[in-house]
Amino acid sequence: MSRFLIILACFPCAFLAACGGGGSNGSSPVCGPTFRTPNYNTETDPGSSRQNRILTWPSFPVNYSIRNQVTLLQGASSSSDLVRQAAQAWIASTNGRMRLTEIPSNRSAEISVGFAQVAQQPGAGDTLGFTSVTFDPDTLTLFEATITVNVWPGMSEAQVRQGLLSTIQHEFGHALFLNGHSEDSGDLMFFQASPSLLKPITTRDLNSLETAYCGDFNGRATRVRPKNLVTVTINCRVPSEFKWTKA
């Protein structure tokens, strides 16, 4: 996606190693950074020059809520529909094994998704959206994630149906597992992207998600909330060299 900045201090990369393992004879994958390849779990984030860090939820389903709705194109999909499409894209990539459940916004959700109105379309270096993740720095276990995506007056159909949807899907990637970015420009989780184009979830994106959870999207631990939680905010920005063209 676009260039991101990490607001709070990052910690050295650590890979989740507490998953169950497969056999060592090559008949089944062994849990670890090469569980599914190719992936970008140990790559360097081009946006921050820091090594990627993998964060994971202790169990599924993970609940998400939509904080607010905004008016987009006349007759276009609602902003809430775009959030649901983005969540479903990640669910479908795992053939339904990873479960995300929408709950009403007035209830406590683990992932909260909302929209912010800005005065004009973002220019080079401006923010498209951001995700804040709260996690245990010792176990890298996620406890909360908050996604905020910017919208602006006069958005074109491509900016809504493709760019905005792609931004939401990208932010879900951060909320689900990735504190960092892919080095490959073809991946959804690349650190830059056009605000008008939809990028699909690639094989590397899926492999990275599968590797983060060792292919197991069932319950793995009780949700005991520790006291030493850390919150990191990742800003999604338009590439510094980006120039808008007429849609």
DSSP character string of 200-225: PP-HHHHHHHHHHTTT--S--S----
pLDDT exceeds cutoff 90 at 9 = no
DSSP 243: -
Q: State the Cα–Cα distance between residues 96 and 182, nearest whole angstrom.
A: 24
pLDDT exceeds cutoff 80 at 78 = yes
Please indicate whether residue 4 or residue 213 has the higher confidence score (pLDDT): 213
Please check whether residue 210 lies inside any domain of the structure: yes
Q: State the Cα–Cα distance between residues 2 and 149, nearest whole angstrom.
A: 12
Please check whether residue 23 lies inside any domain of the structure: no
User: CA–CA distance from 20 to each of 55, 206, 211 (Å)?
Assistant: 17, 19, 12
pTM: 0.85
pLDDT exceeds cutoff 90 at 44 = yes
Question: In this structure, what CATH number is given to the domain that contains residue 127?
Answer: 3.40.390.10
Check residue 137 and give its pLDDT.
95
Q: State the Cα–Cα distance between residues 72 and 156, nearest whole angstrom.
A: 9
Report whether 8 contacts 233 (CB < 8 A): yes
Find the domain containing 56 and state its range.
Answer: 3-9+38-237
pLDDT exceeds cutoff 90 at 197 = no
The average confidence (pLDDT) of the chain is 84
Greatest CA span in the chain, whole angstroms? Answer: 58
pLDDT tens-digit series, residues 54-77: 999 999 999 999 999 998 876 666
Please check whether residue 33 lies inside any domain of the structure: no
DSSP labels for 76-126?
A: SPPHHHHHHHHHHHHHHHTTT-S-EEE--TTS--SEEEEEEE-SS---TT-
pLDDT tens-digit series, residues 141-182: 999 999 999 999 989 989 999 999 999 999 999 999 999 999
Check residue 14 and give its pLDDT.
37
Reduce the DSSP state of residue 149 to 3 states and report it: strand
Please check whether residue 15 lies inside any domain of the structure: no
Confidence class for position 216, pLDDT limits 50, 70, 90? very high
Residue 130 sits at φ, ψ, to 5 deg, of: -155, 155
Please check whether residue 30 lies inside any domain of the structure: no
Please check whether residue 19 lies inside any domain of the structure: no
Confidence class for position 3, pLDDT limits 50, 70, 90? very low
Please give the tally of structural domains in the chain: 1
Check residue 61 and give its pLDDT.
93
Please check whether residue 162 lies inside any domain of the structure: yes
Check residue 175 and give its pLDDT.
98
Please check whether residue 124 lies inside any domain of the structure: yes
